[in-house]
Amino acid sequence: MTKLSVNINKVALLRNARHLDLPNLVQFAIDCEKYGADGITVHPRPDERHIRYSDIPALKEVVTTEFNIEGNPTQDFIDLVLANKPHQVTLVPDDPNQLTSDHGWDTIKHLAYLTEIISTFKKEGIRVSIFIDPELEMIENAAKTGADRIELYTEPYASGFEANAKKAVAKYVEASNLAEKLNMGINAGHDLNLKNLKFLKQNISQLAEVSIGHALVADALYYGIQNTIGMYKRLLV
């Protein structure tokens, strides 16, 4: 079964709209785990518009499943991860003012840079995943960095799903097969939802973990968080 990691960024965004601790981010993470989530994902950005750096130690204390911290490996981010030692760190090439993640790493151009950073995390026992487009050359070089996993950027899959699901997933299947041959685990994330998740899972048997936030939190407004987590989990069997 593919694991479901719930990204709680949008819950933090709602909290930050008022000077109140409502919703309480730590309690929300605890409840997600209680309702069946296999992990909690956070993506702190430099402007702290949703997850704040100060949230990380409190979440680290309570998360009992798998804690995944995503982000661009600036020095502040590296220090944050090393101080809190999550189970997994996912490296994402975000620009400081980027609205959301919209591309994977160029693992050819940044090979030496990524190799050094990944080595730093792995020495501390932290599993490392690289956010990446489903391009074979990029995946081949991702393996050279020493990363344990890749996280496939699935927005192109999601945007093409309604028109032609088989065509939309084809590159992801090919990319996953190569990653498996290179002994890398496979995660996926971005714009996955109740409509397109099952098809992705059916076509990528090696899928270890999906990280879902925006759609899941939006669905929870209608279905409730406990029910919503169950709905997503059933698609990953």
Residues identified as active-site: 43, 70, 190
* Beta strand pairing call for 67-71 and 207-212: unpaired
Question: Which residues 6+ apart lie within 8 Å of 128 measured at CB?
Answer: 88, 89, 90, 91, 118, 121, 122, 146, 147, 148, 149
- In this structure, which amino acid lies at residue 38? D
Instruction: Report whether 88 contacts 68 (CB < 8 A).
Output: yes
- In this structure, which amino acid lies at residue 53? Y
Rounded to 5 degrees, φ, ψ at 38 are -90, -5
Residues 208, 231: Cα–Cα separation, whole Å: 18
- In this structure, which amino acid lies at residue 184? M
- Residue whose structure tokens are 């407004």: 221
Instruction: Report whether 157 contacts 137 (CB < 8 A).
Output: no
The two tokens of residue 34 are: 């209680």
Instruction: Report whether 5 contacts 32 (CB < 8 A).
Output: no
Residue among 78, 94, 97 at smallest CA distance from 86: 78
